[in-house]
Amino acid sequence: KKKILLFCDPGIDDSLAIMYTMLDPEIELVGIVTSYGNVTKDQATANAAYLVQLAGRNDIPIIPGASQPIQREGVTFYPEIHGEEGIGPIQPPSNMQYQIYPFDTIRLIIERYRNEIIIVDTGRSTTLATAFALFPDQIKMVHSFYVMGGAFFFPGNVTALAEANFFGDPTSSNFVLKFAHNLTITPLNVTQFAVITPDIVDTISKNRKNIYASMMAPVFEYYYEFYKKTVPGIPGAPIHDLLTIILIKNPTIVDYIYYDANVIEGIEAKGMSYIDIRPTSKTGKTRIAIKLHYESFIEEFSKVMLPE
Ligand code: BDR
Ligand code: CA
């Protein structure tokens, strides 16, 4: 089983990523680290706790991380995309009880699953960068890193140049991109094509073995409304974060290039990601997704979301 420690900000596509890990017998989610991003840190934490509780997996540690970027300003939430509470119209029950774990749990989890643990970051980079700074010895024990972020070919989705996760805290993103080993990035220019369409959602909604079936249609409809308004003609809604999880299992659903990736921290082009592709430049250490094979993506997605 793939052992995954997920840093996230649920968020609809983060939520779908959590659901997927709950449904996939080949993945073992060993912890969720929650941060500000699509919603506040507290809301992201409650949402993560709710989704694992629905799967009867209260044993998965939920670890709250950063509530703001290290620059301490420029936090924007995205209710129009993800809903006021982050899972479209769905809200965790107000009386929900759940346990949260201290930040040091990240260290313990990495030590426990040393050499096989995969860290996935589908949120702003602040919390993962903090873990790098606090636990450098343990970070070396991580098998590999997967980060959803950046737009290496434009446009971005927050500004013309920048994608939301790298825009949120570009200093931390740069730090992670520089120091993470075995790093794969799934940027917006690939994830934007990982769209799920109303017909697939309709089929999932009718699948009795998918414990999240009843949520799928309302959550998707909320999310798709935003994309219909902003991307004319788009046939469905892109599940950026979930694509990142899927390609851990099947890396062949995308093509890659290898470069060192950078993020601009300054005001004018804040959060812009770039690689040096001049003919004279050398290839680098980071595996960057560049092209999606849509049919294979849908096949992998359906295998798990439509349990038999
Ligand atoms: C990324 O930003 C967030 O809003 C999404 O959850 C995803 O992680 C896409 O740019
Ligand atoms: Ca996210």
User: How close is the Cα of 194 to the center of ligand 1, in Å?
Assistant: 13
Task: Report whether residue 184 contacts ligand 1, using a CB cutoff of 6 Å.
Answer: no
Over the chain (308 residues), the average pLDDT of each successive run of 10 is 98 98 98 98 98 98 97 89 96 96 98 98 98 98 98 94 97 97 98 98 97 97 97 96 97 97 93 94 93 98 96
Please tell me the distance from the alpha carbon of residue 93 to that of residue 239, in angstroms, as a whole number. 25
pTM for the full predicted model: 0.98
Ligand 1 pocket test: pick from 9, 20, 239 the residue with the most ligand atoms within 8 Å of its Cβ: 9
Q: What number does the ligand 1 atom closest to the CA of 8 have?
A: 8
Task: Report whether residue 8 contacts ligand 1, using a CB cutoff of 6 Å.
Answer: no
pLDDT for residue 53:
98
pLDDT for residue 154:
87
Please tell me the distance from the alpha carbon of residue 96 to that of residue 88, in angstroms, as a whole number. 18
**CA distances in angstroms from 32 to 10, 58, 123, 208, listed in the order given:** 11, 11, 12, 26
pLDDT for residue 266:
86
Task: Report whether residue 189 contacts ligand 1, using a CB cutoff of 6 Å.
Answer: no
User: How close is the Cα of 285 to the center of ligand 2, in Å?
Assistant: 24
The complex scores an ipTM of 0.98
Q: What number does the ligand 1 atom closest to the CA of 191 have?
A: 9
pLDDT for residue 283:
86
